[in-house]
Amino acid sequence: MKFIASESFWELFPEAEIGIILFKDIKMEEKSSREIKDKLDDAHDKALTYLTKPVFSENPVIKVWRDAFKLFKTKKGARCSIEALLKRVSKDKDVGSINPLVDIYNTTSLTYALPCGAEDMDKFIGDIKLEITQGGDEFQPIGDDKNSPTLEGELCYKDDQGAICRCFNWRDGQRTMITEDTKNAILFMENIDPERKEDLKEAINYLAENLDNHLEGNLEIHFITKDNPSIEIK
């Protein structure tokens, strides 16, 4: 099984880089420890340091993704996942605890103002591709019981059964979501700003360190670029 960032993605974002962690043989805890929750709380304060402009959408970490989402077809109102997190923080709303793995990647996302997500690898059917879709890929959003298929010209993560995450990094699907039963996970962190390449590397290392410190499992770090567009994941 492979993860492949297809040519249609690189045509839009030739300087993009995707940090990937393969986290296998996980011994998942049902609830986060106090230490994990405290780090998530601390990350709220760190996230505020990225919001220096009075108009939310004009902050660089938001604007770069607003501009990116204009380059492909999106569902109305779709935004990058880091924007959704920072919006909550800007309104003094907590990003609540879900489970240890999700809390750790949300902490990383807030700390570095970069989008981050994770999927259960054992739920994948065939290779995973990040590409512009022809539309009609099946997708059931987390928390919804209806099919919400992709649009023609939409950028999404998908496998042979349907979409995994729609509109690049907007919304995850229920089929491959992380749960307390997850044993093997893939974590994605995307960067499209050439000036933040070092931030991405630092963020991936921070994420890996916290996964290693708080959860049992085996992890591998990879970086996807135009010159290295695929990796074996299983």
| 122-151 confidence digits (pLDDT tens) | 999 999 999 999 999 999 999 888 999 999
Q: In the prediction, which pLDDT does 19 show?
A: 98
How would residue 40 be classed by pLDDT, with cut points 50, 70 and 90?
A: very high
Q: In the prediction, which pLDDT does 29 show?
A: 85
**What is the DSSP pairing of strand 216-224 with strand 185-191?**
unpaired
Mean pLDDT of all residues in 43-66: 97
Mean pLDDT of all residues in 33-53: 96
List the domain boundaries for the chain: 2-232
Matching residue, tokens 């996807």: 224
- Whether the CB-CB separation of 188 and 118 falls below 8 Å is answered with yes
Closest CA to 116 of 3, 214, 18: 18
- Whether the CB-CB separation of 161 and 38 falls below 8 Å is answered with no
SS3 content of the chain, % helix, strand, coil (to 5): 35, 25, 40
pTM of the entire predicted model = 0.96
Mean pLDDT of all residues in 92-97: 93
How would residue 234 be classed by pLDDT, with cut points 50, 70 and 90?
A: confident
Mean pLDDT of all residues in 30-46: 95
φ/ψ bin of 81: left (φ > 0), alpha (ψ from -120 to 50), beta (otherwise)? alpha
Query: Is residue 160 predicted with pLDDT exceeding 90?
Result: yes
Please state, for a pLDDT cut of 90, what percent of the chain lies above it.
96
What is the C-alpha separation between 45 and 60, in angstroms, rounded? 18
Query: Is residue 74 predicted with pLDDT exceeding 90?
Result: yes
Mean pLDDT of all residues in 105-110: 98
Q: In the prediction, which pLDDT does 30 show?
A: 84
Check if CATH label 3.40.50.300 holds for domain 2-232: no
Cα separations (Å) of 169 from 68, 175, 219?
A: 11, 16, 22
Q: Facing residues of 2 across strands?
A: 232
**Quick one: tokens of 87?**
């919006």
Q: In the prediction, which pLDDT does 157 show?
A: 98
What is the C-alpha separation between 180 and 117, in angstroms, rounded? 16
Mean pLDDT of the chain: 97
